[in-house]
Structure 1
Amino acid sequence: MNVLEIRNLRKSFGSGGRRVEVLGGVCLTVGEGEFVSLVGPSGSGKTTLLSLIGGLERPDSGEIMLAGKPASEGAGRAAYMPQQAALLPWRTVRGNIELALRIAGRDRAEAKRLADEGLRRLGLEAYARSYPHVLSGGMQQRVSFLRALLSPQPLMLLDEPFGALDALTRQRMQRWLLSLWEEERRSVLFVTHSIEEALLLSDRVLVLSASPAVVVRELQVPFARPRSAMLGSDPRFGELKESLYESLGSLEEGDMPL
């Protein structure tokens, strides 16, 4: 069963002679329990695509189906984690998580219980009463991910959540995300600029063209789960990484003036 189906999705911004087409007929699916990554040139519309799925923008044409129903029937049917943690600075760590759960329909007692259980699971229970500014960037992202993970929606949209982290913290967060996702197996659509990250995390990798974007390549990642931290040393990993780099390189070269 597909949790997400997108058919011929088009989106433009501006009007008249200034109108720019960002998405030119995107088609893709995310199956139940599947982790799918999107890679593509800068400005290819990856974040715009997530905004359309999450109901933050309206498409010009095309169809978005979430769990078999049109996405237009109600916003908020996908959990969204942006590039920055976006925690409310005036609420505690627990308060940020509880608020998301209350908005999702949980009662106060259940929201508190789930928030406390989740923070213990992440090893962050000591920070439950703290405010976000005392947390490191990696810790804030863990809280943001927990907030999305605890929501009841069948699909998680992750918009390059580790892009602002240093290399070591990013590697730790990738391993942490893998271990947590293995337990939950939620459907995920993950935007990243890192081919290595896409191969490490995903079941499939989709390559978007430059705008107006369409899906120009789909790669089934062949590595068994759970994934090892040593996966990067597998010769097949290197071959797939090089192949994807070549795909992206050809797209970017095609955009350059001669």
Structure 2
Amino acid sequence: MSFVLEVDGVTKSFDVPLSSKPVLSNVTFQVKEGEFVSLIGPSGSGKTTLFHLIGGLDVPNLGEIRIKGRRTIGERGNIAYMPQQASLMPWLTVAGNIELALDIAGMDRKEARIKAREWLERVGLHGEIGDSYPHVLSGGMQQRVSFLRALLSPQPLMCLDEPFGALDALTRMQMQTWLLSLWEENRRSVLFVTHSIEEALLLSDRILILSTAPATIIREVVVPFARPRRDELWSDPTFNELKREIYDQLKP
């Protein structure tokens, strides 16, 4: 079995005046090739801290992190990251933001320009939108560009940190459907942080439930629904049963 990500016994605490604040405790899990895994847990349970450790922005006190079988603790540049806010370069056009990601990945600039336009057309952001600057786009459109930038990065793992959390409910549902359709075509390995149980069930192959801090994984839920996911999934009795079970796990 091929694992893109292996997190093994990761423990992390932060120094505070006169003491130490434990955040993660013996966290262990894997993400397989082409798998969509969601992390869900109470606020402050260390989900973003875990992303920082996986991305090499910080180092654990104990444990190992491996990407494609190689130890990557404290090493940056091994994941494609999509934050809650789009974080696009405001001085570049939409197409320019995509071209920059491809350029950084080592693609020839002319080829990057062509590929950026091709992908923008595929996701419905071609024409005038591609030549626009990020500030004129809606939040949903900005997040589409941000996701596309992560998707086209060459790293084997995409880490998405509550990418739809700042969107209104309708736009969020539209983005979930859009992300699913695009992900189905490419099947990149994804680690996805969300506070929404429904979102996790809709998108994921597996859901990992974190406890309160110091967080550890208290349950793994294998999502039983076939892909591609059906529009009527929300009314499926199993969907609602799993939603209640996960909610019960998250209750204080």
TM-score range, shorter chain: over 0.9
Task: Tell me the residue number matched to 2:39.
Answer: 38
| Alignment equivalent of 2:239, drawn from 204, 219, 237 | 237
Of residues 7-16 and 164-173 in structure 1, the stretch that sits farther from structure 2 once superposed is: 7-16
| Alignment equivalent of 1:181, drawn from 183, 208, 218 | 183
Residue 124 of structure 2 corresponds to residue 112 of structure 1: no
Q: Residues 71-104 of structure 1, C-alpha deviation per residue, up to 9 Å, x if partnerless?
A: 1384211100001000011111111111111112
Q: Residues 147-175 of structure 1, C-alpha deviation per residue, up to 9 Å, x if partnerless?
A: 00001111100000000000000000000
Of residues 64-73 and 171-180 in structure 1, the stretch that sits farther from structure 2 once superposed is: 64-73
Shift of residue 17, structure 1, vs aligned partner? 2.4
User: RMSD of aligned C-alpha atoms?
Assistant: 1.1
Measured in 2, the distance between the counterparts of 1:214 and 1:107 equals: 43
> What's the TM-score once normalised by structure 1's chain length?
0.94
| Alignment equivalent of 1:191, drawn from 178, 182, 193 | 193
CA contact (8 A) 2:45 2:210 kept: yes
| Alignment equivalent of 1:220, drawn from 219, 222, 225 | 222
Query: How does 1:32-71 map onto structure 2 within 5 Å?
Result: 32-71=33-72
Measured in 2, the distance between the counterparts of 1:46 and 1:98 equals: 30
The alignment-based identity, stated in percent, is: 66
Task: Tell me the residue number matched to 1:200.
Answer: 202
The alignment partner of 2:37 has SS state of strand
Shift of residue 16, structure 1, vs aligned partner? 5.5
CA contact (8 A) 1:4 1:65 kept: yes
The alignment partner of 1:230 has SS state of helix
* Higher share in helix: 1
Look up the equivalent residue of 1:176 and give its one-letter code. Answer: W
Task: Tell me the residue number matched to 1:20.
Answer: 21
Q: Residues 33-62 of structure 1, C-alpha deviation per residue, up to 9 Å, x if partnerless?
A: 000000000000001111111112222221
Residue 6 of structure 2 corresponds to residue 5 of structure 1: yes
Q: Residues 200-221 of structure 1, C-alpha deviation per residue, up to 9 Å, x if partnerless?
A: 0000000001111110000000
The alignment partner of 2:39 has SS state of strand
Task: Tell me the residue number matched to 1:256.
Answer: none
The alignment partner of 1:14 has SS state of strand
Measured in 2, the distance between the counterparts of 1:230 and 1:128 equals: 33
CA contact (8 A) 1:157 1:189 kept: yes
CA contact (8 A) 1:114 1:150 kept: no
Look up the equivalent residue of 2:85 and give its one-letter code. Answer: Q
CA contact (8 A) 1:26 1:214 kept: yes
Measured in 2, the distance between the counterparts of 1:146 and 1:140 equals: 10
Look up the equivalent residue of 2:71 and give its one-letter code. Answer: P
Measured in 1, the distance between the counterparts of 2:156 and 2:202 equals: 22
CA contact (8 A) 2:11 2:25 kept: yes
Task: Tell me the residue number matched to 2:81.
Answer: 80
Shift of residue 189, structure 1, vs aligned partner? 0.3
Q: Residues 227-253 of structure 1, C-alpha deviation per residue, up to 9 Å, x if partnerless?
A: 01110110000100000000001xx2x
Shift of residue 18, structure 1, vs aligned partner? 3.5
**Runs of 4+ in structure 1 displaced over 6 angstroms?**
none
Tell me the matched-pair count.
Answer: 250
Task: Tell me the residue number matched to 2:148.
Answer: 146
CA contact (8 A) 2:14 2:23 kept: yes
Look up the equivalent residue of 1:125 and give its one-letter code. Answer: H
Task: Tell me the residue number matched to 2:30.
Answer: 29
Structure 1, unaligned stretches of length 5 or more?
253-258
Measured in 1, the distance between the counterparts of 2:94 and 2:84 equals: 18
Shift of residue 114, structure 1, vs aligned partner? 1.7
Residue 92 of structure 2 corresponds to residue 129 of structure 1: no
Task: Tell me the residue number matched to 2:173.
Answer: 171
Task: Tell me the residue number matched to 2:160.
Answer: 158
